[in-house]
Structure 1
Amino acid sequence: MAGDATRVGDGPSAAAVARLVREERTRILATLIRVTGSVDLAEDATQDAVVRALETWPRDGVPENPRAWLLVVARRRAVDLIRREARRAGKEAEAVSLLDPAPENPESVRDDLLRLIFTCCHPALSLDAQVALALRTLAGLSTAEVARGLLVPEATMAKRLTRAKQKIAQARIPYRVPAAEELTARLSGVAATVYLIFNEGYAAGAGDDLLRTALTGEAIRLARLLAELMPDEATVLGLLALLLLQDSRRAARTDADGRLLLLAEQDRSRWDPALVTEGVELVGRALRRTAHRPDRYVVQAAVAACHALAPAYDLTPWDAVVSWYDVLLTVHDTPVVRLNRAAAVAERDGPAAGLALVDAVDGLTGYPWWHATRGELLRRLDRPTEAVAAYDRALALDLSGPQAEHLRRRRAELTD
């Protein structure tokens, strides 16, 4: 085995093995779905190969070609499953065809990954189903992990995943990369799914944790995968830049007691400079590709870059931030974008100007951060009674524990 494997030991090396297996898992799964035509069968076979690798590689060493090892083991398991579950005509031939496969070239693996991503994020599936299927299939999380991450009971999540797979089969959703004329519209759905996964981890809407790093990490991994597969797509570059710049602030978003710290309160020395550098470089590349046609993720990443490059909060270039929001509204005009622009205007022009814009935003009465923003601006305008009422309305809506604690603390400062 010495000539075929690199010996690894315990501790960090074992963790490295787990990381390698997880990275390769999605590629193996994508290829097996193409070969077998079944998501469930491919998942079972791939999981068996993953388990065997985690059991044997730390002890015997990592194979010289880990992907090929995993694919061979997964194919053999698929053959066993096909033979075991069905003696119907043609199934034995299908199993035999898997025993002696043609070698997979890198281009085939790349296309398989794209097929898998676009299948998971097909518009025929609901957005909830897309996110769940992406986490289960692309990110490799268990059903229980997906359920915990999205705050859904495990039984409910299992049914949701089953229905999504049935919809793929029954609706004959094609396992392919969209045609060129479909790509832009379909890519926006894929990007939206990845962004939603990140947001659910970055600012959890409920529960005891402010952050769910498993979700943010998986979203960044998927965005990196998209950037690897589609390196010239501005949407992909902008999405990855946005996620990296947001994630660069992770360590500074809470204090030593785990309390939420807003952007103005954060110690910028705790921001991750490597992620900032990478994110800003990606923003530059993406902007060069969208000089005449703005992209929502590229523009949001440009806003994040303004914050990332400011040496202090009071040195933030608010004119630039507001201008970028003006651009964003031309391609993605939503109440939340208008709220964020209003908050930026408040920093530039004062709380009265910001509050007027916040009050003009429709459709956010069920959004806690609309009320919380009003509370902050009313507080700055020395209107404490109205500010307390705004905080109370925010606290009556869904918030994570740390978010609610932050607002209760701000409210208490006005009543003590």
Structure 2
Amino acid sequence: MDETLLRTLTPTVIGILGRRGAGFAAAEDAVQDALVEAVRVWPENPPRDPKAWLVAVAWRKFLDAARADTSRRRRELRLEDEPPPGPAATADDTLQLYFLCAHPSLTPASAVALTLRAVGGLSTRQIAQAYLVPEATMAQRISRAKRTVAGGRFDRPGDVATVLRVLYLVFNEGYSGDVDLAAEAIRLTRRLAAGIEHEEVAGLLALMLLHHARRPARTRPDGSLLPLAEQDRGLWDVRLITEGVDLLQAALARDRLGEYQAQAAIAALHADARTVEETDWAQIVEWYDELVRLTGSPVARLNRAVALGEAEAPRAGLAALAGLDPSLPRYTAAAAYLQERDGDPVTAARLYAEAARSAPSLPERDHLTRQAARLNARFRG
């Protein structure tokens, strides 16, 4: 059973049913039912044309559901007969499906869930496991999202920026359950890049690849976090770094800078340094300046302050940090790091402990707690 093939075919089959008259929600339900049937049948009886098989079975599932729903009797009379067996149409509505699932009226969480199911081909169970919520909760979220976009069309232009934000949210979830969401986000972004020539799509794909290249070095054998400065750079994936840099350079050559290109440029500078001491912090500060100009993001300003502390002096970073809202995520952790760099371990230890109490994840909390303990042991000894 080729699960990747099933995931790849899912949006295409949904699009085909949509062009035949099925609404988005009904088409998506029918395709999910067909996928379940494929998992049951294909291992012992694989089809010669997987896409044609999925289209035929999904269409039958849709007709059965329509006939069973008395409120759709009038619509049923307009349904065409089931198409004869044969190769499925070659048109691919994947691109429009991305736009539909990233509908601006959806919450980010709902848009992510719907994208993973309709475009990514994941089951509700898999998505629920990835987000560590009950399957029933995720099913309700997906159902509400489908109702929201039920009247959506497959032939209307969408907002690329919204699609990219959804894909970036998927990527940042990383890995949990039996689904690697970071890898899934890269796969979906590759498909988007294949269907649209857009510098920010290329920029986001480059950013994902450059971050993903460092994944093998991010944790110790016991699962604890390793900060960038302590990572074994020999473990970084050179192939992914090369691909990411090539994509970034091609995107930047179009001279239409966007936030994902700027973030990818920062990641590329980190990847280019053979050691932490060789990091070009001055250039990184310049790219953060561009990112702040493009987005005005307080998080970008926070990261710029840390980079400034490396490029010039910790005091410069602390001064830049002082102008930001202390309630920003990771503000206290950044202050702790800069205070330690500035030679104040007592203040740094207190701030690390404070940051640990509000850490967004268990691995990050443990890392900050260890930092505080390390400094406390030093100045108490």
TM-score (norm 1): 0.83
Q: Does the aligned pair in 1 maintain the 2:282–2:311 contact within 8 Å? A: yes
Q: Residues 345 and 236 (structure 1 numbering): CA distance in 2 closer, same or farther, change over 3 Å?
A: same
**Paired position in structure 1 for 2:202:** 237
- Give the letter for the 1:49 counterpart: A
Q: Does the aligned pair in 2 maintain the 1:21–1:54 contact within 8 Å? A: no
Query: Per-residue CA shift, 1:289-339, capped at 9, x if unaligned?
Result: 1x2x32111111111111112212111111221111111122111111011
**Paired position in structure 1 for 2:66:** 82
Is 1:320 the equivalent of 2:283?
Answer: yes
Q: Secondary structure of 2:358's partner?
A: coil
Give the alignment partner of residue 268 of structure 2, picking from 289, 305, 319: 305
Aligned residue runs from structure 1 range 134-213, under 5 A? 134-169=115-150, 172-178=151-157, 186-201=159-174
**Paired position in structure 1 for 2:10:** 25
**Paired position in structure 2 for 1:280:** 245
**Paired position in structure 2 for 1:5:** none
- Give the letter for the 1:360 counterpart: G
Give the alignment partner of residue 113 of structure 2, picking from 112, 119, 132: 132
**Deviation of 1:377 (Å):** 1.1
Give the alignment partner of residue 57 of structure 1, picking from 29, 32, 42: 42
Q: Secondary structure of 1:58's partner?
A: coil
**Paired position in structure 1 for 2:345:** 384
**Paired position in structure 2 for 1:4:** none
Q: Secondary structure of 1:257's partner?
A: coil
Is 1:336 the equivalent of 2:295?
Answer: no
What is the distance in 2 between the residues matched to 1:52 and 1:147?
21
Q: Secondary structure of 1:32's partner?
A: helix
Q: Residues 154 and 89 (structure 1 numbering): CA distance in 2 closer, same or farther, change over 3 Å?
A: closer
Q: Does the aligned pair in 2 maintain the 1:197–1:215 contact within 8 Å? A: yes
Q: Residues 279 and 326 (structure 1 numbering): CA distance in 2 closer, same or farther, change over 3 Å?
A: same
**Deviation of 1:126 (Å):** 2.2
Larger CA deviation: 262-271 vs 136-145: 136-145
- Give the letter for the 2:193 counterpart: A
What is the distance in 1 between the residues matched to 2:141 and 2:72?
29
- Give the letter for the 2:208 counterpart: L
**Paired position in structure 2 for 1:395:** 356
- Give the letter for the 1:197 counterpart: V
Question: Percent of counterpart pairs with the same letter?
Answer: 42
Q: Does the aligned pair in 1 maintain the 2:25–2:147 contact within 8 Å? A: no
**Paired position in structure 2 for 1:226:** 192
Query: Per-residue CA shift, 1:173-220, capped at 9, x if unaligned?
Result: 444331xxxx5xx11111111111111227xxxxxx7x9962212211
Q: Does the aligned pair in 2 maintain the 1:268–1:312 contact within 8 Å? A: yes
Larger CA deviation: 398-407 vs 86-95: 86-95
Q: Does the aligned pair in 1 maintain the 2:59–2:82 contact within 8 Å? A: yes
Q: Secondary structure of 1:99's partner?
A: coil
- Give the letter for the 1:365 counterpart: S
Is 1:408 the equivalent of 2:373?
Answer: no
What is the distance in 1 between the residues matched to 2:26 and 2:360?
39
TM-score (norm 2): 0.91
Give every structure 1 segment of 4 or more consecutive aligned residues whose post-TM-superposition deviation is greater than 6 Å. Answer: none
What is the distance in 2 between the residues matched to 1:213 and 1:391?
32
**Deviation of 1:246 (Å):** 0.6
What is the distance in 2 between the residues matched to 1:92 and 1:174?
20
Larger CA deviation: 189-198 vs 146-155: 146-155
Query: Per-residue CA shift, 1:218-261, capped at 9, x if unaligned?
Result: 2112111110110x200110011111111111111001121101
Q: Residues 37 and 76 (structure 1 numbering): CA distance in 2 closer, same or farther, change over 3 Å?
A: closer
For structure 2, the residue ranges without an aligned partner over 5 or more in a row are: none
**Deviation of 1:88 (Å):** 5.0
Q: Does the aligned pair in 2 maintain the 1:136–1:142 contact within 8 Å? A: yes
**Paired position in structure 1 for 2:80:** 96
Query: Per-residue CA shift, 1:363-413, capped at 9, x if unaligned?
Result: x5151x211111111112222232122123212214211111111110001
What is the distance in 2 between the residues matched to 1:248 and 1:221?
15
Q: Residues 87 and 134 (structure 1 numbering): CA distance in 2 closer, same or farther, change over 3 Å?
A: closer
Q: Does the aligned pair in 2 maintain the 1:237–1:283 contact within 8 Å? A: yes
- Give the letter for the 2:277 counterpart: D
What is the distance in 1 between the residues matched to 2:319 and 2:130?
37
**Paired position in structure 1 for 2:228:** 263
Q: Residues 66 and 143 (structure 1 numbering): CA distance in 2 closer, same or farther, change over 3 Å?
A: closer
